[in-house]
Each structure stands twice: as structure tokens, then as C-alpha cells.
Structure 1
Amino acid sequence: MSVANQLTEYLQALKPQHLQLINESMNHAGYFDGKESHFKLIIVSDDFAGKRLVARHQQVYTIAEPLLTSQGGSIHALAIHAYTPDEWQALLASEGQAPASPQCAGQRKA
């Protein structure tokens, strides 16, 4: 099973109303076809209600832990955009999409 599919399966624990996982590995140094090391996650869940951003990220990292490179997995970077359903609707109404992922030290030069 691909890393993306594993992570998507693990994240079902948060009962997401919306989940989008984008493989951004091709934008980073050392990329080869099929590499799954850098991801952008957009997740919308009622489980985030009343929680600060850091607590939301901690929830996601706890779930993703087996797939992270620090634990022997292959995910080097995970840009997390975690919203409640109300926050997500407001963002879509104002900006139309989630923010771009941050630059990585290993970012390919254009």
C-alpha cells in the first residue's frame, strides 16, 4: 500500500468531512518517480473544534507517527492545514483554497 493511502487510512480516525492529501515530493531535491516524502494535508473535522492549531497538528502527528522518517517511515515533511467545518467554509468563501505549503530547505531551484 502506498504511503499516501496508508496515511489517508490512518486519518479516518478523525472522521474527516474533507480530506485532501497532495504529494509534493516532486518539488524537492532528490525526487524520483514514485517518491512519497513531502505531503500537503488539508483536513476538516469536528474533532478540531475548540482546539488550538498546535493541538490539531499534534493530533495529526500522533496518527501519522509510524509513517514519519523520525520513526523509520518515509514522510519527511507534512504541511498540515487542519480546519473545523465552519473554518473551512469561511476559508473557501474568502480565499477559495488552503494556503500554499512552506518552502523546504531541499526545495528545487526554478
Structure 2
Amino acid sequence: MSEQSLGSLEETILVIVLMKEKCHGVEIAKVYEAHVKQSISLPAIHIVLKRLEKKGMVTSSFGEPTPERGGKRKKYYRGTTSGYRIANELQERRSQMWSLVPKTSLQYGIL
């Protein structure tokens, strides 16, 4: 079991980063909105990415400057081996817990 814990938003953003070879904030926002069905601000994404990078779960690098961005470079993120391992552990624990929920609870609407 990992010593690191993640909040729900951190976990979601981490999984989105792991879905791609590399991605940037706007791309993460689009994937988030498509899967979570809620909007998210770019500052919120960047705060989470900084936390994940500090925890060693993602790394970042800058792309080349582009004219359409006024010569600015995009910052790209990619998941690390540690990030993948931690996300995988969280998924396994969640699946184990769900396997313990009695099917009758679902059948009779107890939940």
C-alpha cells in the first residue's frame, strides 16, 4: 500500500494525465469535462498538477514556442511510474471494497 494519499480531484487529474502520452492544461480540462460532466477552471487544474508534480506522480516539460500563443510555450505533463502505481493501487482498493457490497443491497434499493 502506498504512503501517499490523493484527493478525488487529484486522482481524477492523475488518471487523465496517465491516459495520454503527454498533455497540457486545456486538454486536461476538455477530457475532465467530457468524463466528469462538470466544468473545471484552468487555475484549479494547474494547482492540482503542481501538487502531483511535487508528490512525484507527474513530470512537466515545455514545448516549443508557437506563433498562435504569441511565442509562449505550452507546459506539458506526463505521468510517472510512481503515479501509475499509486493510481493502480487506488483502483484495486476501490474494486476490493465494491466486491464486499452485498448484491442484495443493490437489488432492494437499500443503498
Q: TM-score, normalised by structure 1?
A: 0.26
Higher helix share: 2
- Computing the radius of gyration over CA atoms, which structure comes out larger, 1 or 2? 2
Q: TM-score scaled to structure 2, two decimals?
A: 0.26
